[in-house]
Chains A and B, each alone.
Chain A
Amino acid sequence: RKEVEQDPGPFNVPEGATVAFNCTYSNSASQSFFWYRQDCRKEPKLLMSVYSSGNEDGRFTAQLNRASQYISLLIRDSKLSDSATYLCVVNQNYGGATNKLIFGTGTLLAVQP
């Protein structure tokens, strides 16, 4: 099983739609979770951290389900500018300084006019 797994998509949705991405992770001891956004030929940028109780930032809502080891990202009222690859990021927690952030392969979202 991959450490961090995402549906690669593409997700093609019309403007204004609501779209949700899921991501599963293998290490039950993972403590830190993030969603990043990467535009074509650009660097990944932090979209939001994911907290245990779930959190919202404008049109974006992130949820964590520790029991099932998945995190989700919900985007409401999609805009054309939301078109990008969304990367799920989880820390590989085996204790100590060598823990690191593991990236999923990303889910491509294309919002259509």
Chain B
Amino acid sequence: DTAVSQTPKYLVTQMGNDKSIKCEQNLGHDTMYWYKQDSKKFLKIMFSYNNKELIINETVPNRFSPKSPDKAHLNLHINSLELGDSAVYFCASSQEQGGSSPLHFGNGTRLTVT
């Protein structure tokens, strides 16, 4: 019974391609996130959604477009992939927004752009 699940686990693609990562949580949480962890292991928030509404967009290039069809799902579509997009992308959810409750992470999507 995985609480936060994301697919795929690994994604290898060429520059210029478009790819999507899917995320689902069964915790009943209202808030979901995308975080990026770069090669230096620094974990940085990209987006947060609360009940399908975009709350935080952390000045991410508009090649990245999140979509939340319902509060249990938050997908991430990336257009025109660049070498610098290579990283591990983590989906997460929390019971409350605003950083007051802890995050539950998915197991990550390791994206490699060649």
Seen from chain A, the residues whose Cβ lies within 8 Å of a Cβ on chain B are 31-32, 34, 42-46, 49, 85, 87, 89, 91-93, 96-103, 105-106
Contacts and interface: CB of A to CB of B under 8 A. Distances in A.
5 contacts: A43-B106, A85-B41, A91-B100, A98-B56, A99-B97
B105 A101 contact: no
B102 to A, nearest CB: 5
A23 to B, nearest CB: 14
B43 A98 contact: no
Given A91-B99, A91-B100, 4 more contacts: A43-B107, A98-B98, A101-B102, A102-B45
A106 B44 CA distance: 12
Interface string B36-65: 000011111100101000011000000000
Contacts of B97: 97, 99
B43 A44 contact: yes
B42 A99 contact: no
A106 B38 CA distance: 13
Contacts of B44: 103
Contact of A99 (B99, B102, B108): B99
Nearest to A91: B99
Contacts of B29: none
Contact of B98 (A43, A96, A103, A105): A96
B76 interface: no
Given A43-B106, A49-B102, A103 B56 contact: no
Nearest to B48: A100
A92 B42 CA distance: 16
